[in-house]
Amino acid sequence: VNGNFSNDQKQPGIPIYESKMNYLDQRRMFKKTQIKNERLLKFYKKVSSEPSLNHEKYIFLPLHYQPERTTNPLGGYFFKHERVIKMILECLPEDWFLYIKEHPRQFSKGNIRYGNHGRSESFYTKFIKTKRIKFVSLNLDSHQLLDNSLGVATISGSTGWEAVARGKNTLLFGHAWYRGCEGVHFIESKNDIEKVFELI
C-alpha cells in the first residue's frame, strides 16, 4: 500500500491512497502505453526472423504474456523468462537452437492495463547477440513451430498442453495443471534438462 509502484489505476509517484487520478489522466496514461507497445512491436519485428523450420534442430519457447499468474506465482523460481532461457542455453547441444516467439498480446493496443510492465527492449537485447537463440516472427504459426521442434519449453503455458496432445516432449518449469501427463518433464535443475535432451 505504501509502495510507490507504477499502475494505471493511480497517479504516478504517490501512494495509491493519496491518488486522485481523473479520467483524462488515465486516458493519457493509456495513450502513453499504446505508444510504448507500438515502439516495442517495431523493435521485435526488427530483431525477429522467419527461419526455415525444416533445416535446424530447435527447442521452441513461446513467451508468456506478462504479468500474469502463469509465470507469477505458478512459475515459482522460474517466474522470469531470463532464468529459463539461460538454463536451457547452458544445456543445449551444439547443433541445436532455441526458437523464442513473443506472445502477441504483449503488444496489444486494447489490452494495455499491465503489459507495459512485462517487457522492454532490454529483454531482447540481452539475447539477440547469442547465436543459438532466434527470435521468430509473430507471422509464423505456433503449431508449425511446435510440430517441427524437438520439444517445447514453457513455464506453465498452454503450449505445453498442446505439445502433450501432439506427442512432443515438454520441458515444464512451472506448476501447470498438466504436469503429470505423459511426455511432460518437470524441470528444477540443469540436470533435469540434460536428461530430457538425452531422451530426445
* pTM summary value: 0.88
Separation between Cα atoms, residue 193 and residue 91, nearest integer Å: 7
The answer to whether the CB of 171 falls within 8 A of the CB of 151 is yes
pLDDT of 1 > 60? The answer is no
- Whether omega before 67 lies within 30 degrees of 0, making that bond cis, reads yes
Query: For residue range 4-34, what is the model confidence (pLDDT) as tens digits?
Result: 666 667 777 888 788 888 888 888 888 888 8
- Order the strands of the 151-154 sheet from edge to edge: 133-136, 96-101, 57-62, 151-154, 170-172, 184-186
Query: For residue range 108-165, what is the model confidence (pLDDT) as tens digits?
Result: 776 666 566 678 899 999 999 899 999 999 999 999 999 999 999 999 999 999 999 9
Query: For residue range 43-94, what is the model confidence (pLDDT) as tens digits?
Result: 999 999 999 888 899 999 999 988 888 898 999 999 999 999 999 999 999 9
The answer to whether the CB of 99 falls within 8 A of the CB of 58 is yes
